[in-house]
Structure 1
Amino acid sequence: MGVSGDFYDVIVVGGGVVGCSAAWHLLGRSDFQGRVLVIEKDSSYEFCSTALSAASIRQQFSTPINIEMSGYGIEFLRNLKRDVDPDADIALHEKGYLVLATADGRDILHSNHQTQLAHHADIVWMEPDQLKAKYPWMNVDDLAAGCWGRTGEGWFDAYSLLQIFRRQAKNRGAHVIDGEVTAIARDGDRVTGVTLADGRQFSCDTIINAAGTGATKVARMAGLDIPVEPRKRCIFVFDCRDARDILASCPMLIDPSGLYFRPEGDYFITGIQPPADRDNECWDFDVDHGLFDEIIWPGLYQRCERFEAVKVVNAWAGHYAYNLLDQNAIVGPHSELGNFLFANGFSGHGLQQSPAVGRGLSELVATGRYQTLDLSVFGYERIRDNAPVRELNVI
């Protein structure tokens, strides 16, 4: 059945960085003259995954398309002022990721590195003595190798990028409204519109599900199912008086244990994926302080003895929209409901992949196919067929 109300060619459910990127890219195309509606249930973005993320971008993946998506992403970020907003300032720090491996991970790291080089990522292989020479504060006794992103990797202000996409999408003509979608109408093998919690209705030709951790709920409104659920990730900001001199040289360090840390102004931020028995579906935003005391702090000290005395000065919890199948994005149309497009399950990659995914979705809507990067490897069919695309470098 259809719905009454205003008609839009495209309705984007979710006004986070992915949804707003899709709207911005689509409305910038000369071959698309339609109307776009972006619906966001929390315009304060207080609990938005983008605003609560570690706000980083890397090309150190094992899957070629992930590398290529981040390659487009970093060029997009570098050229924000020129191509998107002359007043843009996202404080991009291209200091690189440093991914470390012990002996049992060296072969995988080397294979990943060869894949990255083949796809034009500027990643440097480093033996333990080279690591020690470049980072004398680091304990390398248990390390077999490391890979450092000389260019094309780093961190930035995620909230600023989100606001730039939102503002510039509106400038291009997107209608961005506050509201929560509570129902999606179908007519056979097509979706035809949405109903909001306040009773407003809008009809459409295409729906893009960019609802983040709410993606599964939105999909089910259309009679579909995807294996995406929220997983809590805690980030801790800490001060270390004895390590302030390494802030300038410190990259985003990824320890073999899964622990990460990087500079954040005059401090450091850090986090780690919780143990499996503490990493279930989760909707709350309570910080697991025990994670820092029991796992993170000992790991920090093991990698750098300067971190013996640290003080946590801030902490927060955000959520990954976690794809249970393979921790990779689900992008593109449903196999039987062709005008319902997914942009879901990024599992922590959504911010850095938002430029490439937004562009790819705009190509699908306007032309029916991908024109630049072929994102079909992340299509819904692999979910239907239980055929995971394994990414070996999940953080």
Structure 2
Amino acid sequence: MALAQQTPKAHSYDIILIGGAMYGSSIAWWLSRDPGFDGSILVVERDLSFECASTSHTNSCIRQQFSNPTNIQVSQFGAEFINNFQSYFDHDPRVPKIHIQSFGYMYLANTAAGAESLRHSQALQAQMGAGTRHMTASEIQAEYPFYHVGDITAGNHNTVNEGYFDGGTIFDWCKRVAQEKGAEYVQNEVVAMDRHADRIHSVTLASGERLSCGLVVNCTGPRAAQTARMAGLDLPVEPRKRYSFVFDAEQPLARDLPLTIDPSGVHMRSEGRYYLAGCPPDDDAPVAYDDFTQDHSIWQEKVWPIIAARVPQFETIKLINSWAGHYAYNTFDQNAIIGPHHQVENLLFANGFSGHGLQQSMAIGRGLAEFITYGAYRSIDLSPFAYKRIEEGKPFLEKAVI
């Protein structure tokens, strides 16, 4: 069924955000609360129900266990934001308190090289103030006796500001308050951009309106490359399918299950009274933008055997729910592409998060709002995420990609 299209109130906007899910709403909200910004904002979202958005399919987790200092900084601010959520909304009595369920990530290695990589990452994380511990297999077994660790050489674990949070509430309040402060949202779709040399002069909507613009931000998640092509640019971002499974255990664990990253690539964690597991398919190819079809054999043939081998109490479990969502997968280096294009001065990217999007949205939304308002990043230097690295063939190096 075709979605009803809404007409914008004006014909010209200072900022047009293409995509209204977590990134469009985060940037709109940060702009709306910055006293230095007084421009007009239009958010164009193809489906305001967000039914198929990556934001709606996220597992809402945050970690400081990265190997790149910039990613660690971004997540540290994310944790600060979550823990002080109400203060960022000026203690509005309508805004609820949220927190991080800090059962932490447990990265497991089953080779000497994997253990050394974890040790190196832990040293960096500790240097930057994170609470990550490097653990031997026997230390893991002593603290979490439900794991089978016969094949494990080492692990990293952090129970400080690392785990699950209520991402839906953050998204809802960013969107709601951005609208209250003047950001206009319309259900429509950008189908063309009028580019002359180094500028985007206007965008055309599916409903026919042509809107002039001061600046355009690409926030279209897995559709980012499609949006970039309207400006004659290539963006190495494609939709990749990721599967999530919620299950009940006949013999529940006596304590929370950390978000466990098994060496196989399967991950699992506590989810209230249930548990959640997920993984990529073995054939991790790009999919159509509207392909959310599930492959039920992945649960039966891959996920269940792996989690039962790692946690023997999970041999007897019952699948409760499952879904498929999309990563906005950066095929170049699996990390974000942020900020202006070096040849099109008024086109900015917020793309290619490759599964890190929700946890990074607080810091990156703030950073892009700073760049839009002041012409520079003021809080965290996000320039290592710039598009130019792609043309120069210089990947953003990050080992901890799930």
TM bucket normalised to smaller? over 0.9
Given the alignment, which residue of 360, 365, 390 partners 2:397? 390
Verify: 1:317 aligned to 2:324, yes or no. yes
Shift of 1:78: 0.9
Which stretch shifts more, 105-114 or 76-85?
76-85
- Could you tell me which amino acid in structure 2 is paired with residue 103 of structure 1? T
* Matched residue SS, 2:202: strand
Verify: 1:357 aligned to 2:364, yes or no. yes
What is the aligned partner in structure 2 of residue 92 from structure 1? 100
| Residue correspondence of structure 1 range 118-267 to structure 2 within 5 A | 118-242=127-251, 244-246=252-254, 248-267=255-274
Number of residue pairs matched by the alignment: 389
Cα displacement string for residues 18-51 of structure 1 (whole angstroms, at most 9, x for unaligned residues)? 1111111112111111111111111111101011
C-alpha distance in structure 2 between counterparts of 1:90 and 1:178, whole Å? 29
Asked if structure 1 preserves the Cα contact closer than 8 Å seen for 2:26 and 2:361, the reply is yes
C-alpha distance in structure 2 between counterparts of 1:71 and 1:359, whole Å? 13
User: Alpha carbons of 1:5 and 1:25: their partners in 2 closer, same or farther (altered >3 Å)?
Assistant: closer
What is the aligned partner in structure 1 of residue 21 from structure 2? 16
Asked if structure 1 preserves the Cα contact closer than 8 Å seen for 2:216 and 2:348, the reply is yes
What is the aligned partner in structure 2 of residue 42 from structure 1? 47
Cα displacement string for residues 156-214 of structure 1 (whole angstroms, at most 9, x for unaligned residues)? 22222211110111122211111111111223211122111011232111001001011
C-alpha distance in structure 2 between counterparts of 1:279 and 1:237, whole Å? 24
TM-score, with structure 2 as normaliser: 0.94
* Matched residue SS, 1:51: helix
Which stretch shifts more, 317-326 or 108-117?
108-117
Verify: 1:345 aligned to 2:352, yes or no. yes
Unaligned 5+ segments in structure 1 are: none
Which stretch shifts more, 384-393 or 85-94?
85-94
C-alpha distance in structure 2 between counterparts of 1:114 and 1:288, whole Å? 39
Structure 1 residue runs of 4+, over 4 Å off? none
Verify: 1:64 aligned to 2:69, yes or no. yes
Cα displacement string for residues 50-87 of structure 1 (whole angstroms, at most 9, x for unaligned residues)? 11011111110111101110000011111111212542
Shift of 1:89: 4.8
Cα displacement string for residues 306-352 of structure 1 (whole angstroms, at most 9, x for unaligned residues)? 01111111100000000000000000100100110000000001100
Asked if structure 1 preserves the Cα contact closer than 8 Å seen for 2:256 and 2:270, the reply is no
TM-score, with structure 1 as normaliser: 0.95
Given the alignment, which residue of 107, 120, 131 partners 2:116? 107
C-alpha distance in structure 2 between counterparts of 1:311 and 1:333, whole Å? 47
What is the aligned partner in structure 1 of residue 88 from structure 2? 83
C-alpha distance in structure 2 between counterparts of 1:278 and 1:346, whole Å? 16
Which stretch shifts more, 91-100 or 262-271?
91-100
- Could you tell me which amino acid in structure 1 is paired with residue 203 of structure 2? V
- Could you tell me which amino acid in structure 2 is paired with residue 263 of structure 1? S
C-alpha distance in structure 2 between counterparts of 1:280 and 1:203, whole Å? 33
Alignment identity in percent? 44
What is the aligned partner in structure 2 of residue 333 from structure 1? 340
C-alpha distance in structure 2 between counterparts of 1:236 and 1:39, whole Å? 32
- Could you tell me which amino acid in structure 2 is paired with residue 28 of structure 1? R
Asked if structure 2 preserves the Cα contact closer than 8 Å seen for 1:51 and 1:158, the reply is no
Shift of 1:273: 2.0
C-alpha distance in structure 1 between counterparts of 2:202 and 2:379, whole Å? 29
Given the alignment, which residue of 293, 298, 307 partners 2:300? 293
User: Alpha carbons of 1:210 and 1:68: their partners in 2 closer, same or farther (altered >3 Å)?
Assistant: same
C-alpha distance in structure 2 between counterparts of 1:254 and 1:151, whole Å? 17
C-alpha distance in structure 1 between counterparts of 2:201 and 2:213, whole Å? 5
Which stretch shifts more, 5-14 or 56-65?
5-14
Cα displacement string for residues 279-317 of structure 1 (whole angstroms, at most 9, x for unaligned residues)? 333431011111111111111011111011111111000
C-alpha distance in structure 1 between counterparts of 2:182 and 2:82, whole Å? 22
Verify: 1:29 aligned to 2:34, yes or no. yes
Asked if structure 2 preserves the Cα contact closer than 8 Å seen for 1:90 and 1:158, the reply is no
- Could you tell me which amino acid in structure 2 is paired with residue 333 of structure 1? P
Asked if structure 2 preserves the Cα contact closer than 8 Å seen for 1:98 and 1:148, the reply is yes
Unaligned 5+ segments in structure 2 are: 1-8
C-alpha distance in structure 2 between counterparts of 1:19 and 1:96, whole Å? 28
